[in-house]
Amino acid sequence: MKFYRTHILIGVDEYSIQSGVDKIQQALRQELSKYKLEDEIGILETGSLGYFRQGVCFSVFPDNITYVNVKIEDIAELVSEHFLKGRPLRRLILKEVKNNSYDFNYKKRIVLENSGLINPESIDDYLGVGGYEALEKALTEMKPSDIITEVKNSGLRGRGGAGFPTGLKWSFTAPIDSDQKYLVINADEGEPGTFKDRLIMEGDPHKLLEGIMITCYAIGASKAYIYIRGEYKLCIQRLQKAIDQAREYGLLGKNIFGCGLDLDIDIKVGAGAYVCGEETALIESLEGKRGNPRLKPPFPGVKGVWQKPTVVNNVETIANVPSIIKKGADWFAAIGPKKSTGTKVYTIMGDVNMPGLTEVEMGTTLRTIIDNYAGGMKDGSGFKAALVGGAAGAFIPEDQLDIQMDYESLKDFSAVLGSGAILVLNKDTDITQMLYSIIKFFRHESCGKCSPCRLGTQKLMKLMKIIRKDGNDKLLDELLTTAQVMAETSFCALGQSPILPIKSALNNFRSEFLEKKIQSEEK
């Protein structure tokens, strides 16, 4: 193993690839080589460093300096100043905002504890930070029922939006006697503005795989599928490489470590439909059919993939499992509120100084997340609202900024954690336009299986076109009533989703809908 006096961690994700990270990294290596520094300064590719809209980013250790928006033309000066003369190139350093530096929250991260710190394409790097120790503990010291009990006691709830207790879900499938059981990981992530699972998989694919292995052992599954959206090219590449490495190291296959566990993992590329985020529609698509939701019951835990018992979990949910098994249920349960334990991963976007990726303790207030982890409002602009949870989420107004971000607290405000997306909107944002875009999205994504959703989304769209020209109380009430009927009668969660953004928009910004006279933009 080679030791370096300095390490440069380069964030390689979809953003930096689009910004030319490969050519910039090549130029950096050539410049260091020119001064014979390649044996002193190591370059390591890692996952997202957590910064959005910052181009190519480097972190330099042990100097603890982060450079952002690095271009090829900056490389010669950067090497000369920082690595030869020991003078950081200040014009490229990530700047502090309002006396608050961007806090990636390394100390309390669970799911993202390795992201941005290790090479996601190296199983040896993962092993070097304690990877697969939880799997070893599970297979050698615990029975499947012990694992389920541990996850139950931890209080872990599904991070895909529903918040259903994870251990309880597993306990429905584990005792079923079947010749075949499946675990399906929902990595479809079709919610607009949501991509935290993509960054988890890009930054630490082996953590997800370890969680999958432990879960399969607990429920008695010998096959797992990662159902992932087709646009996630880098994720697919890194996950496949991680699966191949795990197989090479004997972590997948027949009779793993002689404990009797047979397991294989396959990647299934999604069908590009929002409705496939619903677990039964996902299963239909995975089987090669049109992605329409199934009637429940029976639930997937009893009859799922090819009518066999199947557990469906979200990426972030399963990525928590290794840490729970390794450190114990009590450790995890002590983080966050009693009924919403652990941490939550968020993507923070919109009118903030430092949009990015963060992981914070459940129960952290929305104000703290915006101010401490996103640098506050951009250029001092006033806060108007935050759309929390993606298109199917709720608009949180300024007087609710101190709301605690956890399942139980948000319930009191008719809001949900949802997919972990936080879109921050300034005072100039047109809420009527935001709601129009959301309804337009739902109309487009409706699978058409049931009348309430198929016809309801069409009606919502027509009403919004009229409201944006000449809104009145009667039309607004009809909009809300239509969404309410859809919520009560639609076959799946897609048709039940518009009620949250519509209700929160009208409750908090009704006057804006009545005052605006906006020309409709669409046929």
Q: What is the pLDDT of residue 1?
A: 52
Number of separate helices (H) and strands (E) present in the chain: 21, 14
Task: Tally the residues of the chain.
Answer: 523
d(CA 110, CA 345): 9
Q: How does residue 105 score in pLDDT terms, banded at 50, 70 and 90? A: low
Calculate ∠ Cα 92-93-94, nearest 5°. Answer: 115
Identity of the residue numbered 106: Y
| Gap between the Cα atoms of 67 and 92, Å rounded | 5
Give the model's pLDDT for residue 271.
Answer: 85
Signed CA dihedral, 465, 471, 475, 479: sign only: positive
- Find the helix or strand (DSSP H, E) in which 487 lies: helix 473-489
At 450 the pLDDT is 94
Separation between Cα atoms, residue 453 and residue 466, nearest integer Å: 20
CB 226 within 8 A of CB 268: yes
- CA–CA separation, 36 and 180 (whole Å): 57
pLDDT at 518 over 70: no
Rounded mean pLDDT, 268-287: 93
Flag whether pLDDT at 263 surpasses 60: yes
Average pLDDT over residues 490-519: 88
Helix, strand or coil, per DSSP, at residue 519: coil
The pLDDT of residue 100 is above 80: no
- Element holding 253 (H helix, E strand): strand 253-256
Q: Which residue has the higher pLDDT, 128 or 471?
A: 128
Q: How many CB atoms lie within 10 A of CB 121?
A: 18
Query: What pLDDT does residue 521 have?
Result: 43
- Alpha-helix residue ranges (DSSP H) falling in 64-120: 75-78
Structure tokens at 342: 């652990």
- Give residue-wise pLDDT tens across range 109-155: 999 999 988 999 999 999 999 999 999 999 999 999 999 999 999 99
Task: Determine the Cα–Cα distance for residues 108 and 121; give it in Å rounded to an integer.
Answer: 24
Nearest 5 degrees, angle CA 516-CA 522-CA 523? Answer: 125
Q: What is the pLDDT of residue 63?
A: 87
Cβ atoms < 10 Å from Cβ of 72: 13
pLDDT at 234 over 80: yes
Q: Do residues 392 and 352 make contact, with C-beta atoms less than 8 angstroms apart?
A: no
Confidence of residue 106 (pLDDT cuts 50, 70, 90): low
| Rounded Cα distance, 135 and 216, in Å | 11
DSSP 353-406: SS-EEEEEETT-BHHHHHHHHS-SBGGGPPEEEEEESSTTSEEEEGGGTT-B-S
Phi/psi class of residue 373: alpha, beta or left (left: φ > 0; alpha: ψ in -120 to 50)? Answer: alpha
Sign of CA dihedral 291, 293, 294, 300: positive
- What pLDDT was estimated at residue 108? 82
Burial 488-504 (b: 16+ CB within 10 A, else e): eebbbbbbbbbbbbbbb
Q: What band does 107 get if pLDDT is binned at 50, 70 and 90?
A: low
Mean pLDDT of 65-76: 95
Name the least confident of 18-27, 187-196, 234-243, 349-358.
187-196
Domains of the chain (ranges; CATH) run 6-92 (3.40.30.10), 123-333 (3.40.50.11540), 343-426 (3.10.20.600), 431-515 (1.20.1440.230)
Please name which of 355, 378, 502, 490 lies closest in space to residue 437, comparing C-alpha atoms: 502
- Report the pLDDT averaged over residues 93-119: 72
Distance CA(370)–CA(378), nearest Å, equals 10
Q: How confident is the model at residue 279 (pLDDT cuts 50, 70, 90)?
A: very high
Strand order in the sheet with 223-228: 253-256, 261-269, 223-228, 182-187, 310-314
* Residue 400 predicted with pLDDT over 70: yes
pLDDT at 313: 97
Q: Which residues contact 114 (CB under 8 A, 6 or more apart)?
A: 126, 129, 131, 203, 204, 207
Q: What residues have CB less than 8 Å from 293, skipping those under 6 apart?
A: 275, 278, 280, 281, 284, 447, 449, 491, 492
Section 392-401 average pLDDT: 95
